Amino acid sequence: MATAKSTTAGNGAGLFFRWALPVIGAAVALATLFWLYRGLDVSRFLSAVATAHMGWLVMLAATILLEQLTRGWKWRQILFDLKPISSVRLFGAIMAGYGLAILVPLGISPLVRSWLIARLEGLRMASVLMTSAIERFLDGIVFALLAAFVALAGRIPDVDGDVRTGLAVAGGLNLVLFSGLLYLLFIGRSPLGDENARVSRCIDWLGARGRGRLDGLRQAVRDGIVWPRDRRRQIGAVLASVVMKLIAATHFLWAGLAVGVILAPLDYLFLMIFAGFALVLARFVRVPGGFVIGSGFALKLLGVPDEQALAMILFNHVFTIVLMVTVGLLFLWRSGIDIRQAREAERAQEAGD
């Protein structure tokens, strides 16, 4: 009876966190957007959307894809010593991870992409997941450095005081966080070779709970904590992370040109960084629309009219969703994997955890 009650309570809590919190978050996001664009001229907004220059929108779509292709190439550099994998295949897995995360509540996209690559390449998921974590930590470090640079450059119009200080502090905290995580990951690799080490015992205990599905988990984790031995691949991974952020910053450039808005070069970096921090914060508090809200605030700070600003945000958001879902599902179809299988893999992973 007690077990049944605890199970029911656990299911209720799970449903609350999976469905109720996002619904509450959506209401908060809508209320914030209503306040943010309360002076919007709907006819001017619709005119901006209808008369947008198609050529610049094509550039926007191309750079959204190019950013993720660059991520795939960067991930290839990190994975190379574990197994050389095509950048195009990694790109497809990344798009599938993002696409599935949009369509169904699968959790974080690195879990999905790692499962896909492990399945297609005959690797252990834990190993691939570790390389994905390294890739994301490297991304976080580069993002933090760019945030600090933009905050301290002092050339962003109409942004001063607490916003500038907040960006500098947030960038510094992120640099410490992701550098620390990357350091701990590689420092923790050596003890994994000793079965008596505390971290090894913890992972072995987790593996034992998998009832055979997680056999060899510790070795798989250890194998996945890799950094390219080739110096060129090391440099390539870092440069690719920088290039990715610069490409991401151009998304608002193309969307702005489509509706006749031109900003200073550093403004686009500021937009990318401000929206990025807003997205992370929104995910942490389970409020959807963090990118939209953050971009809206940033564009207001930069003096962009509401109608053009909302059109720029709309183009970025819609193009990203459409491309992620379309390309992601196409990759799954070409790979012979469907959404049902991915959801079953997620449930199996959660059961193992």
Cα separation, 26 vs 253, whole angstroms: 28
Looking at the predicted structure, is the pLDDT value of residue 280 above 90?
no
**Residue environment code for 137-164, b if the CB has 16+ CB neighbours within 10 A, otherwise e:** bbbbbbbbbbbbebbeeeebeebeeebb
Length of the chain equals: 353
Q: How many CB atoms lie within 10 A of CB 209?
A: 12
Tokens coding 342: 């991915």
For residue 198, what pLDDT band results from cuts at 50, 70 and 90? confident
52 CB neighbour count, 10 Å cutoff? 21
pTM (2 d.p.): 0.83
By CB neighbour count within 10 A (0-12 exposed, 13-18 middle, 19+ buried), where does 234 fall?
middle
Cβ distance 297 to 274 under 8 Å?
A: yes
In whole angstroms, give the CA distance from residue 205 to residue 23.
Answer: 36
Q: 52-66, 117-131, 215-229, 337-351: lowest mean pLDDT where? A: 337-351
The answer for 35, left when phi > 0, alpha when psi is -120 to 50, beta otherwise, is: alpha
Q: Which of 42-46, 185-189, 335-339 has the lowest mean pLDDT?
A: 335-339
Q: Is the pLDDT of residue 301 over 90?
A: no
Residue 162 vs residues 17, 47, 151, 167, 298: alpha-carbon distances, Å: 33, 35, 11, 8, 13
pLDDT winner (highest mean) among 56-65, 149-158, 303-312: 56-65
Q: Could you tell me the pLDDT band of residue 351, with boundaries at 50, 70 and 90?
A: very low
Q: What is the pLDDT of residue 4?
A: 47
Q: What is the mean pLDDT of residues 332-339?
A: 70
Question: Residue range 250-277: average pLDDT?
Answer: 91
Q: What is the mean pLDDT of the chain?
A: 81
pLDDT score, position 253? 96
Q: What is the CA radius of gyration of the chain?
A: 22
| Cα 352 from chain centre | 24
User: Which residue's structure tokens are 């059109």?
Assistant: 311
pLDDT of the residue at 23: 62
| CB contact at 8 A, 351 and 95 | no
pLDDT digits (tens, 9 = 90+) for 70-92: 999 999 999 999 999 999 999 99
Give the pLDDT confidence of 15-46 residue by residue, as tens digits. Answer: 444 555 556 656 666 677 778 777 888 899 89
Q: What's the rounded Cα separation, in Å, for the pair 160 and 154? A: 9
Instruction: Name the token pair of 278.
Output: 């807003």
